[in-house]
A and B are shown apart, each in its own frame.
Chain A
């Protein structure tokens, strides 16, 4: 019975998007709204299963078969996948989509679902590699030379990471005789390090994920929304599972998380390019998601929603340069979604980020908690740049009520209400964080401009750092 259910779910979550992608390709379809029912079906199924509760674990085909896990964790990610795709589809105008965009979206949707429900290391390897290829094609959709260059960089770094992951899989298999994630507690630490490094490349986590600002900053804004909303989560979701199941990973993943939260924020505070700034925030938010492995999926769903909303809103702006936007001002219809998104990511109550941040901070303590508070304040500082952008004349606030904006807003508000953390202490805490951030912005960062060195983001340095990290981890465990 469970096996039958699992096959039904797989066909709905993976096969239907794939087939519709192939049909779109054959029919040369350019209107992504045709695919809305597919995304909606995913979201509804996931929502229903989340409300229903319960988890089941299936190995289709018996021993050495395909292993799947349907629990709250995977359904939350699947729900996020559906919602982000609905929002992005509602936001793109039909004539703006290049050929290939729709089939790619459908295939990406299916593959991401497959990553979230898979429960064995090798299937995850295949799905993530497929995600890498699809992301590559997505980044270069605009066909500008710089996009092709950043896509090539992404694929080379990602592939080197996946080779390490593959070797990690092998060591795990040799120790336990199975690729299943159930054996994760027993696999040797070297294998866990290799797996963590490989996944952190795809997940945009500290050091290994530094390809991210270049690629996310350069891609078209709808693509950036999908990159930050879904593709990055495909690396993060297995990483969260690893951190939950393996004692070795549960020690290193939170360290990487804190480092990436601080790193991303410190670059975002000083960046003047709005899309680059959002991309740096993806690195820091990956840190927030991974900080508490048991609750990461609850943060991930909020992050997927508000980050893709922000990327879409930033894509409508006439310029990417925050300095020139500050001088000219922006029209009210572009300003409102940016403003709400910026408040959401800073953790304003009722806007999605608050519930998520409260869950994380509720479970952190000691020195990591202190560093994460600094990262949260840094988030408020860097988003103050957007919150306090001046309005220019001639805007029409009524035009701001786009379908996708309303959709994202509704999801985020619902997210916060569902999380329920409306206690005075939590509300005060988040208001204090935002207030401190804005004060720092007015007193310090709005007056000074600092250029941080960005040498670490070149192709060779990322791969070099990857190996230094690996050797460091192995060295530390050897001592």
Chain B
């Protein structure tokens, strides 16, 4: 059992913990934080996956044995981090708006308003 495998298990469980939060936390702010935890788990999975010793994608001469990490996932994940952050910021702003209208952040109580 190597460390990469253990780390991957850990990160998958981070995603699942985030999911649990999104499902079972009633407070909207808590839901959003849980969603961010999920996002962090996914992003860290990307960073972890660049940990490989076998293949260097950028160096043309692949016979050179240097410890390299794959730059591609690390490069693309930056964009995902930015997008995740902007979604989070947008959600927090509008949750603030919602709390002004409903004086509560409890999703059940907000949903009850339209049950009739």
- Listed in ascending order, the chain A residues whose CB lies under 8 Å from chain B are 64, 122, 125-126, 129-130, 132-133, 136, 140, 145-146, 148-149, 151-152, 155-156, 159-160, 163, 166-167, 170, 173-174, 177, 179, 458-460, 463-464, 467
Enumerate the 10 nearest inter-chain pairs by beta-carbon distance, A residue then B residue, closest first.
A145-B101, A129-B83, A166-B42, A163-B42, A122-B76, A163-B38, A167-B42, A460-B23, A159-B87, A152-B94
New contact pairs (6) apart from A148-B98, A160-B22, A160-B38, CB-CB < 8 Å: A152-B98, A160-B35, A163-B38, A166-B42, A170-B42, A173-B49
Kindly provide the distance from the CB of B25 to the nearest chain A CB, expressed in whole angstroms: 10
Number of A-B contacts (CB under 8 A): 85
Residue contact A460 to B107, C-beta cutoff 8 Å: yes
Expressed in whole angstroms, the Cα–Cα distance for A129 and B45 within the complex equals 19
Residue contact B95 to A130, C-beta cutoff 8 Å: no
Residue contact B49 to A152, C-beta cutoff 8 Å: no
A129: contacting residue among B19, B87, B98, CB under 8 A = B87
B97: contacting residue among A129, A148, A463, CB under 8 A = A148
Chain A residue at minimum C-beta to C-beta distance from B46: A170
Residue contact B80 to A166, C-beta cutoff 8 Å: yes
Residue contact A177 to B57, C-beta cutoff 8 Å: yes
Expressed in whole angstroms, the Cα–Cα distance for A173 and B19 within the complex equals 24
Expressed in whole angstroms, the Cα–Cα distance for A460 and B24 within the complex equals 8
Q: B17-36 toward A: CB 8 Å interface, digit per residue (1/0)?
A: 00100111000100110010
Q: B74-115 toward A: CB 8 Å interface, digit per residue (1/0)?
A: 001001100110110011001101100110000100110010
Which residues on the B side are within 8 Å of A170 (C-beta)? 42, 45-46, 49, 73
Given known A140-B94, A166-B80, A173-B73, contact A152–B22 (CB-CB < 8 A)? no
Kindly provide the distance from the CB of B96 to the nearest chain A CB, expressed in whole angstroms: 10
Residue contact B39 to A152, C-beta cutoff 8 Å: no
Kindly provide the distance from the CB of B34 to the nearest chain A CB, expressed in whole angstroms: 10
Size of B's binding interface in residues, CB under 8 A:
38
A159: contacting residue among B35, B46, B97, B107, CB under 8 A = B35
Which residues on the B side are within 8 Å of A64 (C-beta)? 57, 72
Q: B32-71 toward A: CB 8 Å interface, digit per residue (1/0)?
A: 1001001100100110010000010100000000000000
**9 contacts across the A-B interface (CB closer than 8 A):** A125-B80, A126-B79, A126-B80, A132-B87, A151-B94, A152-B28, A170-B73, A173-B73, A174-B49
Kindly provide the distance from the CB of A95 to the nearest chain B CB, expressed in whole angstroms: 25
Chain A residue at minimum C-beta to C-beta distance from B45: A170
- Listed in ascending order, the chain B residues whose CB lies under 8 Å from chain A are 15, 19, 22-24, 28, 31-32, 35, 38-39, 42, 45-46, 49, 55, 57, 72-73, 76, 79-80, 83-84, 86-87, 90-91, 94-95, 97-98, 101-102, 107, 110-111, 114
Which residues on the B side are within 8 Å of A459 (C-beta)? 107, 111
Residue contact A463 to B23, C-beta cutoff 8 Å: yes
Which residues on the A side are within 8 Å of B49 (C-beta)? 170, 173-174
Which residues on the A side are within 8 Å of B98 (C-beta)? 145, 148-149, 152
Which residues on the A side are within 8 Å of B84 (C-beta)? 159
Chain A residue at minimum C-beta to C-beta distance from B39: A163
Which residues on the B side are within 8 Å of A467 (C-beta)? 19
Which residues on the B side are within 8 Å of A149 (C-beta)? 98, 110
Residue contact B114 to A146, C-beta cutoff 8 Å: yes
A167: contacting residue among B15, B101, B110, CB under 8 A = B15
Which residues on the A side are within 8 Å of B39 (C-beta)? 159, 163
Expressed in whole angstroms, the Cα–Cα distance for A145 and B111 within the complex equals 12
Which residues on the B side are within 8 Å of A140 (C-beta)? 94
Chain B residue at minimum C-beta to C-beta distance from A157: B22
Kindly provide the distance from the CB of A161 to the nearest chain B CB, expressed in whole angstroms: 11
Which residues on the B side are within 8 Å of A146 (C-beta)? 114
Kindly provide the distance from the CB of A123 to the nearest chain B CB, expressed in whole angstroms: 9
Expressed in whole angstroms, the Cα–Cα distance for A459 and B95 within the complex equals 15
Expressed in whole angstroms, the Cα–Cα distance for A167 and B32 within the complex equals 19
Which residues on the A side are within 8 Å of B90 (C-beta)? 133, 136, 155
Kindly provide the distance from the CB of B37 to the nearest chain A CB, expressed in whole angstroms: 10
Expressed in whole angstroms, the Cα–Cα distance for A173 and B95 within the complex equals 35
Chain B residue at minimum C-beta to C-beta distance from A144: B101
Kindly provide the distance from the CB of B15 to the nearest chain A CB, expressed in whole angstroms: 7
Which residues on the B side are within 8 Å of A155 (C-beta)? 87, 90-91
Expressed in whole angstroms, the Cα–Cα distance for A173 and B55 within the complex equals 14
